Structure 1
Amino acid sequence: MTADLLPLDPDELLTTTRSVRKRLDLERPVPLEIVKEALEVALQAPTGSNSQTWHWIVLTDPEIKRKVADLYAKSFAAYSANQPRHDDTARRVASSAQYLADTMAQVPVLVIGAIYSGGELPAGNQAGLWGSLLPGAWSLQLALRARGLGSAWTTLHLVYEKEVAEILGIPANIHQGVLLPVAYYTGTDFKPAGRKPLDDILHINGW
């Protein structure tokens, strides 16, 4: 099966690929072949020394998804209790995140991106490790979006990484880095998000 690609130019794809939560279609099945097709694209992302030590765990079984979703919801509850909601934007994000935590088990596909770590995570700056996984995860989100599928970047399940690893049989020398709920989405009016002005964060030839 080959998915029809949306007519998006590169800039539109990059600026309108949003974290989709409330607009995930929980009823429409997602063909595994479409996810695999998007993963084939994601595998072209860079990895350090071309090591390609990433692994992708795709969950479609309802009971397995439920177990992972329960741990995610438990982690989210603790996280949410300590988050400020001072303005409308923060409240909208909180409502969206709560919805995802409540419905995670119903999302058709969950994808966990993981990477070989050799055992314990390295001390100090870990950019060399995660830089070999996270670009692939973002490429996966872009490839999914180009095929009419939404996703959301989540990491709260990592509070219970060991428990998730036990559920899924992930070896001890593999560390998880991201969880992507994946579904078709409702509506098409995705727009660029508000961001800080470039000049506020841009440094030329030094800080």
Structure 2
Amino acid sequence: MTTTLLIIAATCVVSFLGFSNAQLIDKLIFWPPAVKRGQYYRFLSHALIHADGAHLLFNMITLYFFGRALEGFYEQVLGPFGFALFYAGGVVVSMLPSYVANRDNPAYRSLGASGGVSAVLFAFILLSPWSRIYVWFLPMPAILYAVAYVAYSIYMERHGRDNINHSAHLWGGAYGVVFTLLAEPRVLPAFLQQLASPRF
């Protein structure tokens, strides 16, 4: 079984258990007061639980398609656990700005794998910017989707009231790009070369 499928399996099992177990959610959700008390595991554990089935399904479908495409790259660059380390890093880093902004806010809570999934998605776009991505069944070049995704997330982070952590999406995506470039600097000239040769 691939690393991507193992992550998906673990996330689905824990998320399904959490749907009917409020105590489990309370133990795993990202909650700044608990983190300040030393429960740093919540930087990772919040990615194992989701608000509902639709939230879980969207994240896991995205992770399935783009994670499988990236596994070989990270295993070649970082070794057999490369993709797992990359994904875990995305989950943690994507939550750091939210923690800094809400460290004294006991009402703040966040859950879901979106930060790590955004890291995977944007790393894929960096490696293959003109690949076709389907958004609500409509085909779109990956790089154009990235621009729209960032613009939407910035707007919603500033003006939205939908209880979605758009900050985690943005920082997860930024982490995916920066980490990939640091892990393999040759990706940047390859990306620029591809960008100069559009294909639809």
Length-normalised TM-score, structure 1: 0.31
Q: Which has the larger radius of gyration?
A: 1
Larger helix proportion of the pair: 2
